Amino acid sequence: MGALLSGIDEAGRGSVIGPLIIVGLTLKRDKIDLLHKKGVKDSKLFTGISGRRKRSQLAIEIQQNAEKVEVFKIPSTEIDETLKMRPKDNLNLLELRYFYKLIKELNTKEIFLDTISSPHYSMTQISNLIHTNDPSLSLKLIETNKDEIKFTLRNLKKATKNIIISKKADAKYTVVAAASCVAKHIRDLRLREIEQEWDLPEFVLGQGYPNEKDRNLMYFFHEYSNQIKQRSFPFIRYLWEWKHLQQILHKPGKKLDKYF
């Protein structure tokens, strides 16, 4: 009942605004079962205002029940600096570097994480990080298929961690879904903080994702296009290949009305 499990997930990967939030969460097994019964699931499945409100309530409860919560907030400026280095660096590699930091910091026997690209790709990049930065660690493959990879990490003291990288881990493992909900909750709070810091209307940044259905966000890009052209807002990912953003940045002579 008291066994500890950890989950790692992120929120904001596909966003055009705001940070990428990565969370490593440790829970007792009995707490995981309780949270599952209360409706903890993949954060993307909470839709609409009522869904987001429910997710926020659960995220607070998850953090109250967690043994440990580790959070990395990766700002838009760091993401843009990474994207400048393509093809040598990219968002996948950036995210996996932070995942690897969490794997090392979380002191649990089993750690579950959502895959980046594919389980094999994620494990290969983590293996590269080990060889480059932590030669005292050894990696041993236990089981592999197209949807999931299991391997162990062992240090010189022979302490072992079992790592499970899985497609749709936030749907398969409640501890990863819990990390997903906390990450999304923290990111939503950060978007509201950014609006206050920049004296912007409340909720004008919406959810921050490039989606024409997010009318608040589309209003922001339309009404603040002059400041965006000047790259005045450091919370925007200016290298993101979203047509509306790139239209503002590189074709200032065109009327924007047709795009919004």
Domain of 113: which CATH number? Answer: 3.30.420.10
Number of domains in the chain: 2
Asked if residue 79 belongs to a domain, the reply is: yes
Structure tokens at 89: 């660096």
Residues 33 and 85 in one domain: yes
Residues 45 and 172 in one domain: yes
Q: What integer pLDDT is reported at residue 155 of this predicted model?
A: 86
Asked if residue 196 belongs to a domain, the reply is: no
Q: Give the residue, 254 or 3, on which the prediction is more confident.
A: 3
Question: What's the predicted TM-score (pTM) here?
Answer: 0.93
Q: What is the largest CA-CA distance in the chain?
A: 64
Give the end of a domain, one of 190, 212, 242: 190
Residues 122 and 71 in one domain: yes
Q: How confident is the model at residue 42 (pLDDT cuts 50, 70, 90)?
A: confident
3-state secondary structure of 111: strand
Taking each helix axis from N to C end, the angle separating 174-197 and 48-65, rounded to the nearest 10 degrees, works out to 110
Residues 112 and 224 in one domain: no
Residues 110 and 210 in one domain: no
Closest CA to 198 of 18, 56, 74: 18
Residues 174 and 140 in one domain: yes
Give the domain extent around 230. Answer: 203-259
Residues 148 and 227 in one domain: no
Residues 132 and 59 in one domain: yes
Residues 51 and 146 in one domain: yes
Residues 176 and 211 in one domain: no
Q: Stretch 81-88: mean pLDDT, rounded?
A: 94
Asked if residue 26 lies in contact with residue 2, where contact means CB atoms within 8 angstroms, the answer is: no
Asked if residue 18 belongs to a domain, the reply is: yes
Residues 212 and 88 in one domain: no
Asked if residue 36 belongs to a domain, the reply is: yes
Per-residue pLDDT tens over the stretch 213-247:
889 999 999 999 999 999 999 999 999 989 889 98
